[in-house]
Structures are given as C-alpha cells and as structure tokens.
Amino acid sequence: MAPHQRVLLPFPLVFLLLLLLVVPPRADAWGKEGHIMVCKIAEKYLSEKAAAAVQALLPESAGGELSTVCPWADTVRWHYHWASPLHYVNTPQVCNFKYSRDCHNSRGQQGMCVVGAINNYTDQLYSYGQKTSYNLTESLMFLAHFVGDVHQPLHVGFEDDEGGNTITVHWYRRKANLHHVWDVSIIDTAIKDFYNKSMDTMVETLKMNLTDGWSDDITHWENCENKHATCANDYAIESIHYSCNYAYKDVEQGITLGDDYFFTRYPIVEKRLAQAGIRLALILNRIFDGDKADDIPLRVQ
Ligand code: ADE
Ligand code: ZN
Ligand code: ZN
C-alpha cells in the first residue's frame, strides 16, 4: 500500500469502533475463564458415579469435559431472557443477604435469583435416572454456571449500582466498570503477571493450593448442614460480605484501580474460584452419589 493511502472504513463500522473505545464493557458473569476454571477444579473432585452421570448428561459438543459448557449460560442470557436475573442477586444497599427480601426478579417473582436458581436446578437434577420432563443437560449446564456466579462477590451486590456495573473506574489505564474488574480484569491480570499468560497454569496452581495451602479449609468450605436445600444461601451471604469488605471498599465513581487494589483483592478472587469448584463438586456428588441421608430431594427455599 502506498504510504499516503488511507483505509476508509464504512461509517457504521467507525461508529462501532468508537463506541467500543468509550463505553466500558457491561459485565455479565465471571468471564469465560472464571467459569472454566471453577469447572476444571470441580471435575477433579467428582466421585466416580457423579463423573459418570455428568458424562451421560453432557452434550456431544462438550468433548466429555464439564468445563467447556460452564460459560454456556452467559451465551444464552439474552435469548433466554427470563434467565437473566438468575445470574445474580442484589440487596437494598445493605451488607447482608436475606432470601425472602432479596431473591426475586424485577416483577417480584420469588426465587428468581442466583440462589433460587441453584436450588431449583439441583432439585431438577435429582430426577436423574427417572422419567422426567426436564432437560437435565440444560439443568446441569445452568447449575455449573450459577454455582460459579454466586461465588463472584459482586453477583451479590447492591441494587442501586447493579452489583458495580454502574460504577465506572479505570483498571490501570483502561476504562472499565467495577463489576467487570471482578468478573474479568483481576483474573486476566493475574494470568498475565503470575501465570505466564496461561489459564491452565493458574488452574494447576489453584489445584495445588487445594491439596496443601487450603487443605485444612476444605472441610470448612464443604460444611453444608442444610439437607433440604443447597447451601447457596450461605455462599451468597459470604459474597455480600466480600463485596462490602473488598470489592466496594474505598471505591468511588471514576477512581483508578491499580497495584494496591489488585494485590489486596486477587487472593480473594483465587479463593472464591477454588471454593466454587469444591462446592460444585460437592453438590454434584450429593445429587448423583449421595448417601441415604442426602437422598432427600432438595427444595427451593
Ligand atoms: N445486573 C444487575 N445487578 C447485577 C449483578 N449484581 N450482577 C450482574 N448483573 C447484574
Ligand atoms: Zn452468569
Ligand atoms: Zn458478572
């Protein structure tokens, strides 16, 4: 091409490119990577029976790996419009979560939030092996995704700022919003700076931490006394506490977040990814390989 020749882009394309530069991306969930990592960890902790049931339910396209379908629920979020509120739950700007007060969609329908969804899809999966009208493949893909979501602190955030979506920030020099920082940016920065740009190396490190550094914590994470529903309620309570104590803490509109924020928050993100993986495995093991005490079908709260 001659040095002075310019490439003329059609106007709509120019407009789209400008829009991408000025409007921070609206975040939906742990990014694709977060969900894949949660499910890669869960796969390692599945019992033989649970792994066999998961294999039987996975779609052909999954290539036999649960982790490949874990971001799926985000890709159908706008197509399955009714499922959009099932990815999160918001509180009225308070640092506690109450199912009866908070778990509803914008039309006030009870149970239409991430905690209700986890209980509901768990309940559906209990019909595995029986005649059922549920599409259990979808139930599994939704469940695996939402267990990840409920562990992203800002998926249990404040209603006024939509879990940080309306809080505009800079992540280092890039424009972002606080929700996106927790879905994607902290993970991306960790992968780039600590794990040689490899998500698989990050997953291996998290798995290693689970067998040494965090090994004493696992029984505590797995502790789920509630035999009638999942412990998703407890996971949401933990998330709103992390939102208040870490995600929202010292953040205001327009702030630039850099090293200080990253170094104090990424340990929380890593812990939440690992917890989500362990707990997803726990739920699937209870469903597909539960002992008699765990055989009671789970009820939506
Ligand atoms: N939309 C509104 N609130 C949200 C939240 N907490 N997480 C994700 N998306 C949302
Ligand atoms: Zn989601
Ligand atoms: Zn999100």
pLDDT in tens, 120-134: 999 999 999 999 999
Gap from CA of 155 to ligand 3 centroid (Å) = 6
Cα(135) to centroid(ligand 3), Å? 25
Q: Which ligand is nearest to the CA of 146?
A: 2
Contact 162 CB / ligand 1 (< 6 Å): yes
Domain ranges of the chain: 28-288
pTM of the model: 0.89
| Cα distance between residue 246 and residue 251, in whole Å | 9
Q: From ligand 1's centre to the CA of 112, what distance in Å? A: 13
Which regions of 23-120 does DSSP assign to beta strands (E)?
Answer: 89-91
> From the CA of 269, how far away is ligand 3's center (Å)?
13
Distance of CA 36 to the CA centre of its chain: 10
Long-range contacts: 289-297, Cβ < 8 Å, 24+? 289/47, 289/48, 289/49, 289/50, 289/53, 293/227, 294/227, 296/227, 296/228, 297/123, 297/126
Q: What is the pLDDT at residue 28?
A: 57
Q: Is 270 helix (H, G, I), strand (E, B) or coil?
A: helix
Ligand 1 contacts CB of residue 279 (under 6 A)? no
Task: Quote the pLDDT of residue 230.
Answer: 87
Pairing of strands 174-177, 168-171: antiparallel
Measured CA to CA, the distance from residue 67 to residue 119 in angstroms comes to 21
pLDDT score at 229: 74
Mutate to test the pocket of ligand 1, among 90, 149, 152, 244 (most ligand atoms within 8 A of CB): 90
Asked if residue 140 lies in contact with residue 58, where contact means CB atoms within 8 angstroms, the answer is yes
CA dist list (Å): 190 to 135, 151, 187, 248: 37, 18, 5, 20
What is the homologous superfamily of the domain 28-288 according to CATH?
P1 Nuclease (1.10.575.10)
153 lines ligand 1 (CB under 6 A): no
Ligand 1 close to Cβ of residue 88 (< 6 A): yes
Does ligand 1 have an atom closer than 6 angstroms to the CB of 185? Answer: no
Report the separation in Å between the CA atom of 239 and the middle of ligand 2, taken as the mean of its atom positions.
15
Q: How far is the CA of 150 from the centre of ligand 1 (A)?
A: 11
Q: Give the pLDDT confidence score for residue 25 in this predicted structure.
A: 45
The predicted structure's pLDDT at residue 3: 38
Taking CA atoms only, the protein residue closest to ligand 1 atom 9 is 28
Looking at the CA of 183, which ligand is closest? Answer: 3
Compute the distance from residue 143 Cα to the ligand 3 centre, in Å: 16
DSSP-derived secondary structure letter, 133? S
> Which listed ligand is nearest to 154 at the C-alpha?
1
Closest ligand relative to 113 C-alpha: 1
Q: What is the pLDDT of residue 12?
A: 52
CA distance 53 to 227: 21
146 Cβ below 6 A of ligand 1: no
Q: What is the distance in A from the centroid of ligand 2 to the CA of 8?
A: 38
Distance CA 3, CA 172 (A): 34
pLDDT, position 225: 81
The secondary structure of residue 155, as a DSSP letter, is: G
DSSP state of 76: T
Q: What is the pLDDT of residue 227?
A: 62
Residue type, 226: N
**Which pLDDT score, from 0 to 100, does residue 78 have?**
86
- Mean pLDDT (10-residue bins), the chain, 301 residues: 45 48 54 98 98 98 98 95 97 98 98 98 97 97 98 98 98 98 98 97 97 90 81 97 98 98 98 98 95 47 47
State which residues have CB under 5 angstroms from ligand 2, the bound ion. Answer: 29, 87, 149
Distance of CA 54 to the CA centre of its chain: 19
